[in-house]
Amino acid sequence: MPPKLISESMILTGKYVSMLFLFAWELRNRKLSILKEPFFQHYNAMDVEQIREYCLSNERVTEGFPFNDTALVFKVAGKMFALLDLSEENRGLSLKCDPELAIELREQHPEVEPAYHFNKKHWNSVILDGSIPDDLLLEWLDHSYELVVASLPLKARQQFNDP
C-alpha cells in the first residue's frame, strides 16, 4: 500500500483556509471597514462633554432636553441637528445625514444604524463605544449641522457670519 501524501487533517485545514480566503475576498469586495482597520481597534473616544462642547462651538447652537432627562438635543436656529443620548445603556448620537450617505455609512460601519424614533432615511444613530475615530465623528457632526443650516430659510441663513 503506497504512503499517504495528504492526510485528512491537511484536507480539513485546506478547506478552512479556502473558506477564510473566500470570506476575506467577500469583505474586500464589499469594501467593509473591518479590513481597513485592525480588528477590535478602539480610539480615544470623545466623551459626552467633548461632544457637547463641540456642538455648542458652532454658530447659533442651543441645547435642551425637550423629550426626557437623558436626550440632550442640539438645535441650530431652532432646528435639531443632533441628539446625544446620555443614558449609560444606550449611549449614542443621532445625526441628520444625506440619505445616500446615510446608507453608505450604515454599510461601512456596524456602529451606525438607522436612528430610533427618527425618519430613518435622513437620520443615523452612532453607537458611542470608542470604535469610531474622533475625526470621523466630528466630520459627521459638521455634516449634520451644515445640512440643517442649508435647509433654513434664506433670511435665517443670512443671519450667520460669513467665513
Q: Are residues 30 and 102 in the same domain?
A: no
Q: Are residues 76 and 143 in the same domain?
A: yes
Q: Are residues 54 and 119 in the same domain?
A: yes
Structure confidence at residue 116 as a pLDDT band (50, 70, 90): confident
Structure confidence at residue 121 as a pLDDT band (50, 70, 90): confident
Q: Are residues 85 and 153 in the same domain?
A: yes
What is the C-alpha end-to-end distance of the chain, expressed in Å? 85
Give the tens place of pLDDT for each residue, 44-64: 578 889 999 999 999 999 999
For residue 94, the domain's CATH number is 3.90.1150.30
More confident of the two residues 72 and 7: 72
pLDDT at position 108 is 93
| Chain-centre distance for alpha carbon 128 | 9
The total of structural domains in the chain comes to 2
User: How far apart, in whole angstroms, are the C-alpha atoms of residue 87 and residue 148?
Assistant: 25
In a domain, 162, yes or no: no
- DSSP 8-state symbol, 4: P
- Containing domain of residue 19, as a range? 7-36
For cell 446620555, name the residue.
86
For cell 445603556, name the residue.
89
